[in-house]
Structure 1
Amino acid sequence: MKKVLFIVSMIMLSALQIQAQSSIDSENSKVEFSIKNMKFKTVEGSFGGMNGNVAFDPENLENSSFNVCIDPATVNTGSKKRDEHLKNEDFFDVEKYPEICFKSDEIAKIDNQYIAKGTLTMHGISNKVEIPFEQNGNTLNGQLTINRKDYKVGDDGTFMVGDEVKLNIIGTLKK
């Protein structure tokens, strides 16, 4: 009888772990960004095409993880000409680098906020980052500021395009 209960318990535990892993709802997920242009203007835009898997359990952070990518070819700034320029080899080079990905190493909680620590890979370059985020139902909202030069995106000048890129990440999980 103990053996049967153990097997049933293991099956139920496995089912709960599978339920905890969710895929991204690409239709309702995006990354919004803002960056200075010519030092006095701010260009805002977004990326869609988010996909991947999230295993997030606030009660079991050590088994939580993110493995999520976006498609840089979905860049949208409201200017078709600018968007096409951002897709070429001067910036994202979407033909050569079709994904921007984040893979977590650790999820922690500090006060009322979670932090996903891991590796952001863009333009063929990987750097460690920490993304503070909050959970709101089946949506995870995170913020991150990166330096585009750390990923060799754009030229070295900072007059036309600023260095700091502010990111707002909205990841909705499929139910």
Structure 2
Amino acid sequence: MKRLSILLSFLIITFLINAQSIKSDGSLVKFKVSNMKWKTVEGMFTGMDGKVIFDAQNLSDANFDVSINPATVNTENEKRDNHLRNEDFFHVDKYPKIGFKSTSIIKTAKAYKAIGNLTMHGITKPVEINFTYSNNSLVGKLLVNRLDYEIGTDTGTFMVGDEIELEILCKLL
């Protein structure tokens, strides 16, 4: 029993040492979406938090559990941002977090890939995020279809593109 207690203590301490907190200022998710088929709307979300365990030498223990606050959406247009926050789009009162939890992290030819589940608007779908790691920062790219997450489906948002380009910048402490 004493050995089990020592082993559990060691595992907890190892987890706590390897878990890296996210530096909220400077961590963000940028997005681009077509609007009216010929314009592009760009914006960002801030308010990222969660835990990251990442050691390029030990990917089997790597793990991401991060989220952003959709209420922080900023397209530099207050009227549009307020519309994005309401029930037509993100419904931030009902769905206050957009989250990603990895199931595995692998090395690719040029960088890394996080495989996991993205939860947005109460819907969880599997995704793969290609990312790089340098200077204690993770930079990832992802393409999502907003209709897969039932965002903007009830309002006749035909002028908004379905595919959203995401760029994730996660700075670690």
Structure 2 Cα separation of the partners of residues 85 and 158 of structure 1:
12
Task: Classify the secondary structure of the residue corresponding to 1:69.
Answer: strand
2:90 corresponding residue in structure 1: 92
TM-superposed deviation, 1:15: 5.2
CA 13–59 in structure 1, closer or farther in 2 if over 3 Å, else same: farther
Report which of the two structures shows the higher radius of gyration computed on alpha carbons.
1
Q: Deviations 1:62-99 (Å, cap 9, x if unpaired)?
A: 10000000000000000000000000000000000000
Q: Give the TM-score normalised by structure 2.
A: 0.90
* Aligned positions of 1:1-175 closer than 5 A: 17-155=15-153, 157=156, 159-174=158-173
Structure 2 Cα separation of the partners of residues 71 and 171 of structure 1:
14
Question: Is contact 1:39-1:159 (8 Å) kept?
Answer: no
Question: Is contact 1:139-1:170 (8 Å) kept?
Answer: yes
Structure 2 Cα separation of the partners of residues 150 and 26 of structure 1:
28
Task: Classify the secondary structure of the residue corresponding to 2:92.
Answer: coil
Question: Is contact 1:118-1:129 (8 Å) kept?
Answer: yes
Structure 1 stretch 99-108 or stretch 20-29: which is displaced more?
A: 20-29
Q: Which runs of 5+ in 2 are unaligned?
A: 1-7
Root-mean-square deviation over aligned CA pairs: 2.0
Structure 1 Cα separation of the partners of residues 61 and 11 of structure 2:
13
Q: Which amino acid aligns with 1:52?
A: G
Task: Classify the secondary structure of the residue corresponding to 2:129.
Answer: strand
TM-superposed deviation, 1:112: 2.2
Structure 2 Cα separation of the partners of residues 85 and 15 of structure 1:
45
Q: Which amino acid aligns with 2:133?
A: Q
Structure 1 stretch 10-19 or stretch 101-110: which is displaced more?
A: 10-19
Task: Classify the secondary structure of the residue corresponding to 1:28.
Answer: coil
Structure 2 Cα separation of the partners of residues 110 and 74 of structure 1:
32
Q: Deviations 1:15-47 (Å, cap 9, x if unpaired)?
A: 554332101111110000000000000000000
Q: Deviations 1:142-169 (Å, cap 9, x if unpaired)?
A: 0000000000001275641000000000
Q: Which runs of 5+ in 1 are unaligned?
A: 1-9
Task: Classify the secondary structure of the residue corresponding to 2:25.
Answer: helix
How many residues are treated as equivalent by the alignment?
167
Structure 2 Cα separation of the partners of residues 75 and 167 of structure 1:
13
Structure 2 Cα separation of the partners of residues 12 and 85 of structure 1:
49
Q: Which amino acid aligns with 1:173?
A: L
